[in-house]
Amino acid sequence: RLAPSTITSIACAFKHLYRCQLCDFPTGLSQFFSNRHRAYILKIASEKMRGLYPADRNSMGLSAAAYGRLLKCSIKMRPCGNKFPFSIIRHHPLFLKLSQSMCGRGERIVNIRYAFIGVWADAFRCKVPNSKSDQEGLMSYWKLFFANIIDPWWCPVLELAVHCACNTLCGDFEFIFPQSYRNGFRAHFKDFIQSVEEDDVNSMEICRHQLTVHSCKRTGVMMANSCEAVHWDQAELRADHKIGMNCVYMSGASPDQDAIMGRILSNLPFGTKEFESQMPHFEEAVSAALPMQKLFAGYDRYPPNFRVVMPFLVASLVYHQNHVLQHYHGHPILSSPLFTTQKYILQDLQTKL
């Protein structure tokens, strides 16, 4: 089988030929190559669905139910002797959620900086570096992600809140994931997958070796494409894929499509009232009065734009406090100020959401 990029190379050769002759590339010929390129991709996809391509050696995406179970396994994972220290495993849930909700490659997700995250209307927005040369995020575009108030296992805002509440003064206040995790995230992820119980793997209906770092991105793309309101090309843009024969990265998905995908990727049920639910938040006066320096270690060392985000993180922890208390036994979050020295805030703020 030819790779789809081969058709692109042939088209580029024709364009070069016309350019050498100082002639414009015919519109009809350009449309022909574009149509054949798209048709060939759809043909390969159809053959994969019929099992004509080997599927036992590649990473696989998961269904929403299976990925939800994987998220639960990551949150419930605890140290075992000298293996799996909390300094590593506490980053797994956030890595899984951001990789899936941003539809991003693992090596890009671990390089997200706090400065790349902000608030937009009723959502968070995040930039993911889309190339090795874009570590500053200057060529990246915003992607929206939303809170899930009905299923906290899926809520990326809650997991970001847990992550920040567990940070210490020795933490990294530039990158979300510390250098120890960034440098070995593939090995850490593999260790996590190996630690997942056999019953959990069987329930996901997938072979263990098919669960790779790229499975997270594949799952996100599959979930986005599963909604009839999402155009296929917009899902491709969300995943930082090149579109058609132009072989260039576009500016990103359209705002309305990105908002729909952001909600779908937070596993909000499409077509229901909950799909348009807002994330937990406080009135401005309440947010301004929060003792942020007491709740988050090194609060003043976070970038200014991320400090604007942090009251929403407190609101998420207050809203989901029962979930945290029930399912995060032995987790550093229960030793954080919000659940120890400042725990009175949980009750005081609950009525102010």
Predicted pLDDT at 35: 87
Do 231 and 112 form a contact (C-beta atoms < 8 A)? no
Predicted pLDDT at 279: 95
Predicted pLDDT at 268: 96
Of 49 and 67, which is predicted with more confidence?
Answer: 67
Predicted pLDDT at 135: 67
C-alpha–C-alpha distance, residues 157 and 279, integer Å: 8
Token reading at 3 = 């790779």
C-alpha–C-alpha distance, residues 137 and 168, integer Å: 26
C-alpha–C-alpha distance, residues 348 and 304, integer Å: 26
For the segment 264-279, what is each residue's pLDDT rounded down to a tens digit?
A: 999 999 999 999 999 9
For the segment 201-220, what is each residue's pLDDT rounded down to a tens digit?
A: 999 988 898 899 999 999 99
C-alpha–C-alpha distance, residues 87 and 147, integer Å: 25
C-alpha–C-alpha distance, residues 353 and 349, integer Å: 7
Q: How confident is the model at residue 21 (pLDDT cuts 50, 70, 90)?
A: confident
Averaged confidence pLDDT in the chain: 90
118: β partners: 125
Interval 141-152 mean pLDDT:
95
Predicted pLDDT at 338: 94
Q: How confident is the model at residue 172 (pLDDT cuts 50, 70, 90)?
A: confident
Judged against a pLDDT cut of 80, whether residue 81 lies above it is answered with: no
Range with the lowest mean pLDDT among 51-55, 182-186, 197-201?
Answer: 51-55
Number of H helices, E strands in the chain: 18, 3
Of 213 and 38, which is predicted with more confidence?
Answer: 213
Angle at 67 between CA 201 and CA 132, to 5 degrees: 110
Output the CA–CA distances (angstroms, integers) from residue 259 to 128, 224, 276, 306, in the order listed. 16, 11, 10, 21
The pLDDT > 70 percentage for the chain reads 95
Closest CA to 221 of 116, 105, 80: 105
Predicted pLDDT at 146: 97
Instruction: Report the SS3 class of residue 123.
Output: strand
Judged against a pLDDT cut of 70, whether residue 117 lies above it is answered with: yes
Token reading at 58 = 């590649």
Residue entry with tokens 């054949």 = 36
Q: How confident is the model at residue 54 (pLDDT cuts 50, 70, 90)?
A: low
Predicted pLDDT at 4: 78
Range with the lowest mean pLDDT among 6-15, 152-161, 175-184?
Answer: 6-15
Q: How confident is the model at residue 167 (pLDDT cuts 50, 70, 90)?
A: very high
The b-or-e profile of 37-51 (16+ CB within 10 A means b, else e) is bbebeeebeeeeeee
Distance of CA 37 to the CA centre of its chain: 29
The DSSP element (H or E) to which 28 belongs, if any, is helix 27-49
Predicted pLDDT at 97: 97
Closest CA to 120 of 155, 157, 154: 157
Q: How confident is the model at residue 58 (pLDDT cuts 50, 70, 90)?
A: confident
Identify each DSSP E strand in the chain by its residue range. Answer: 117-120, 123-127, 142-145
Can you give the length of the chain in residues?
353
Interval 75-80 mean pLDDT:
90
* pTM as predicted: 0.85
